[in-house]
Structures are given as C-alpha cells and as structure tokens.
Amino acid sequence: MNEIQRLVTNVGGVADYRAMDAMGIPRSVVREAVRTGGLVPVRSRWFASPLAHPDVVRAVRVGGVLTGASVARTNGLWLLSDDLLHVRVRSTASRLSSPDDRATPLAADLHKVCVHYSLWPKTSPCVDSVGDAIVEMFRCGDGRSALAALDSALNKRLLGQADLARMRPRIPLGKLWIFDRADAGAQSGLESLVRLLLATTRVQHRTQVWIAPAGRVDILIGDRLVLELDGRTFHTGEAFEDDRRRDFALIMQGYLVLRISYQMVMNRWDEVAAGILHLVRRNEHRWGRATSAGPFAFTFAG
C-alpha cells in the first residue's frame, strides 16, 4: 500500500478532493494515482482506494456515507437479516444515484437502498462511526436489530460507556427503553432479542447464569426454565456432545431446557416468542408450580 492509499484508507477508503486537500495531498498526486490505478474514481471529485470496502464505495456513489446496518455488517456486528444498503445523506440532498452507476438516478426500492436523511455532520468522508451507525439503526428500525448490534459492539469493545452517553440524546424517545437495556455481557444477538422479549413482557430472568455441574447457561427464566441459544454454526463433534452433556446435567436436576437455534430466531421468531411465553403462563419456570394452559401448536415443519 502506497502513502496516498494509506491516507485514504485511514478515513474509510473513499475521499474527495477537499478531504485530500486537508491531508496535504496535492491534486497532481491524486491525478497521477488515478492514472496508475492507485486510486479509483467513484464519482466527480471522489476517489477510492482499491482496498476500500465495496459497500462504502457504493454508498459514496449514491451521494452519502455508509451507515446503519451496513456499517454494523462491515464491522462483524450481530443484526437481523437486512440486505439493504444503508446510506446517510444531508436532509436537503437531491439527485441521488444508483449505487452501481453514477449516471443512473437512484430508485431506492429497485436498487435496494435505504436512504437516511439527517442533519448530523459527517465525521468521515464516506462511512459513519459504529456509534453513529447504531444511532441510525435506532432511528430507522423497530429497535431489535439495533439493540443486537449495540450489545455486540459493546461486547467487542468497539463502544464504551462514554460512547453510550454521547449516543443517548440522539435516540428517539420511544426507543430509549430499548437502548437503555444494552448489555456488554451479551454473548449473541439471539440473547439480545430474547432478553428484549422478556423485558417487554416483564418476565423475570437472568443472563449468563452458572449452574453446576453444567456450567454457564445463556438465560435462566424464573427458577428452572433454561434457554440455550445456538449461533449460526451448527455444533458438531465435541461441541455437539458437550451441548448434550450440559442438557442432561440440567434435566437431571429438574431444569427445563429449551434450545433455540439461529434459524428458529431469524425465520420463526413470532412462534418462538409465543412458545416461550406459553411455558411461562404454564408456570414451567417455577419449581413445582406447573399448571395446564392448554396445548401449544408448533408449525416449524416445512
């Protein structure tokens, strides 16, 4: 990587003439870098390092900066399924373009772009910080995916308490109660979603609880209902055996173990949530207090 590529990469991978002026890069050097392939034109007066993330380049081509779930994805944060390109633009922006062709006007639905109109200033020429991006997630969606991404960012130490304090005044009032439930100890976005469900329905629970000899469990509801949340990768070999050993140890002590997969949460969340709450209504989460609440119809087949 040469010096001009390093400087552009340091600001997110894409920069315009103004940003490079501020970095002390002469325009003659920029033009030479374009001629030799060291920089790639993105739109008029904007240039990308060949190492720039494709989504960052596409956001700049639209006319803004990468934000929201798109930034969460590029940072490896947990979030719900979202295949849109999230781009933040000035509140007065017009003449936005296709992310793949600067000469084609933007058709947001066709080009699968979610445009975030905002008054907040940019801190990078091309990509929002993790904190700013998650604020946009809270402003744009229902809060569930934003909480999962926020928990993940805290767990990865990409954000800290000082960042939360700066973000909080910009969170919509109706979603502050979700934002305030952020937990750096959350081990997965699945845990974030289940925790939010239980908080919403005021079901008492604890996370990352140690139960000997099984070890630490993801969520314990009441006295005995254990939720184990499996991630994207299906456990095989030793991991599969360890899961079953833990389940066996818990069941032998009277715990009720409910193992929930990534696909169940992503594709059947309403049914999973209803099933958990059905068990609670039957008092299955309490020692010796189970009651009949009628059958629960599962439709996971197919």
**Which of 161-175, 225-239, 285-299 is the least confident region?**
285-299
Q: Which of 174, 128, 170, 175 is nearest to 153 (CA)?
A: 128
Same domain, 30 and 68: no
Same domain, 24 and 124: no
pLDDT score of 117? 95
pLDDT score of 150? 96
- What does the mean pLDDT of the chain come to? 89
- Check whether 291 has a pLDDT greater than 70: no
Same domain, 44 and 80: no
> 169: buried, middle or exposed (CB in 10 Å: 19+, 13-18, 0-12)?
exposed
- Check whether 300 has a pLDDT greater than 70: no
Does 184 fall in a domain?
A: no
pLDDT score of 191? 84
Among 36, 52, 68, give the residue marking a domain's end: 52
pLDDT in tens, 263-275: 888 788 889 889 9
- Check whether 261 has a pLDDT greater than 70: yes
- Check whether 85 has a pLDDT greater than 90: yes
Confidence of residue 1 (pLDDT cuts 50, 70, 90): low
Does 33 fall in a domain?
A: yes
Same domain, 94 and 76: yes
Main-chain dihedrals φ then ψ at residue 216, nearest 5 degrees: -85, 130
pLDDT in tens, 86-138: 999 999 988 999 999 999 999 999 999 999 999 888 889 999 999 999 999 99
Same domain, 158 and 209: no
Same domain, 134 and 223: no
Same domain, 272 and 167: no
Instruction: Look up the domain containing 216 and give its range.
Output: 189-281
pLDDT score of 25? 93
Does 267 fall in a domain?
A: yes
Main-chain dihedrals φ then ψ at residue 226, nearest 5 degrees: -100, 130
> What CATH number has the domain bearing residue 255?
3.40.960.10
> From CA 110, how far away is CA 189, in angstroms rounded?
29
Same domain, 62 and 175: yes
Of the chain, the percentage scoring pLDDT greater than 90 comes to 66
Among 179, 201, 227, give the residue marking a domain's end: 179
Same domain, 220 and 142: no
Does 103 fall in a domain?
A: yes
Does 301 fall in a domain?
A: no
Same domain, 82 and 20: no
pLDDT in tens, 56-84: 999 999 999 999 999 999 999 988 878 99
Find all residues with CB under 8 Å of 267, minimum gap 6, and list them.
none
Confidence of residue 292 (pLDDT cuts 50, 70, 90): low
Does 263 fall in a domain?
A: yes
213 preceded by cis ω (within 30°)? yes
**Residues 293, 278 contacting (CB under 8 angstroms):** yes
pLDDT score of 203? 86
**Which of 42-56, 147-161, 188-202, 251-265 is the least confident region?**
188-202
Of the chain, the percentage scoring pLDDT greater than 70 comes to 93
Among 121, 150, 179, give the residue marking a domain's end: 179
Same domain, 105 and 143: yes
- Check whether 53 has a pLDDT greater than 90: yes
pLDDT score of 237? 57
pLDDT in tens, 165-216: 999 999 999 999 999 999 888 878 888 888 888 888 888 888 889 999 999 9
Does 212 fall in a domain?
A: yes
Does 296 fall in a domain?
A: no
pLDDT score of 297? 52
Same domain, 228 and 195: yes
Total count of domains within the chain = 3
